């Protein structure tokens, strides 16, 4: 099944007027209006702060945000694809929408980075700049615990001739991928 947009002409018009060679900020927001249909719901010339109030807790939404950046003393822009997953979106709905993620990215081309957002209070110009930086190793803003966070469990064992040994299991359901041993004699 493919993702459809019900107002593509409006989307293209907004892209051409907001993302010009001289613009240093702007954003476009897509909302779902059907199981496989999105709608350009809003757009603006401001920065990401103007858009965050439109992110809904029970929705998956997509946006492209333009940021003004300094690279080597030169002013430039970075267009960032933002995938919002609200806290009220269930796992079944997330899985359904995951299949449309790449198609939504294609609708909002061009962009130079992608950031996934789970907490709109932490979605600021600063965090978006940091997480969309090409050198960043983390492109997620506020990963919810229990869903995609890495769980690390520590066990303290008492052994003869050794006061303590700490073992870290990266995945408790399988053989440890990495074991760290600290011994105190």
- pLDDT tens digits, 37-86: 999 999 999 999 999 999 999 999 999 999 999 888 888 999 999 999 99
**Nearest alpha carbon to residue 85 among 96, 74, 70, 71:** 96
Task: Determine the pLDDT at residue 142.
Answer: 80
- Partners of 153 in the β-ladder: 169
Mean pLDDT within 91-118: 94
Q: What is the mean pLDDT of the chain?
A: 82
- pLDDT tens digits, 17-41: 999 999 999 999 999 999 999 999 9
- Looking at per-residue pLDDT, the higher value among 171 and 115 belongs to 115
Task: Determine the pLDDT at residue 134.
Answer: 87
- Looking at per-residue pLDDT, the higher value among 1 and 114 belongs to 114
A 10 A CB-CB count for 21 gives 5
Query: Do 23 and 45 contact (CB within 8 A), yes or no?
Result: yes
Going along the chain from its start, the domains and CATH numbers come out as: 4-141 (3.40.20.10), 150-185 (no CATH)
Q: How confident is the model at residue 143 (pLDDT cuts 50, 70, 90)?
A: low
Asked if the peptide bond before residue 110 counts as cis, ω within 30 degrees of 0, the response is yes
Q: What is the 3-state secondary structure (H, E, C) of the chain?
A: CCCEECCHHHHHHHHHHHCCCCCCCEEEEEEEEECCEEEEEEEECCCCHHHHCCCCCCCEEEEEEEEEEEECCEEEEEEEEEEEECCCCCHHHHHHHHCCHHHHHHHCCCCCEEEEECCHHHCCHHHHHHHHCCCCCCCEECCCCCCCCCCCEEEEEEECCEEEEEEEECCCCCCCCCCCCCCCC
Mean pLDDT within 146-157: 42
A 10 A CB-CB count for 121 gives 8
Task: Determine the pLDDT at residue 141.
Answer: 86
């Amino acid at each position: 099944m493919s993702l459809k947009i019900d107002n593509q002409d409006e989307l293209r018009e907004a892209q051409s007027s907001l993302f010009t060679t001289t613009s240093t900020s702007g954003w476009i927001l897509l909302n779902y209006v059907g199981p496989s249909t999105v709608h350009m719901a809003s757009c603006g010339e401001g920065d990401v702060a103007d858009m965050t109030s439109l992110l809904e807790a029970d929705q998956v939404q997509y946006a492209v945000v333009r940021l003004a950046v300094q690279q080597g003393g030169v002013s430039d822009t970075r267009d960032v694809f933002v995938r919002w997953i609200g806290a009220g979106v269930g796992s079944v709905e997330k899985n359904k929408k995951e299949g449309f993620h790449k198609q939504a990215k294609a609708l909002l081309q061009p962009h130079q980075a992608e950031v996934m957002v789970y907490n709109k209070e932490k979605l600021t110009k600063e965090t978006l700049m940091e997480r969309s930086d090409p050198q960043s190793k983390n492109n997620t803003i506020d990963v919810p615990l229990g869903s995609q966070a890495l769980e690390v469990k520590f066990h303290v064992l008492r052994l003869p001739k050794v006061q303590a040994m700490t073992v870290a299991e990266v995945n408790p359901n399988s053989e440890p991928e990495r074991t760290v041993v600290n011994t105190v004699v």
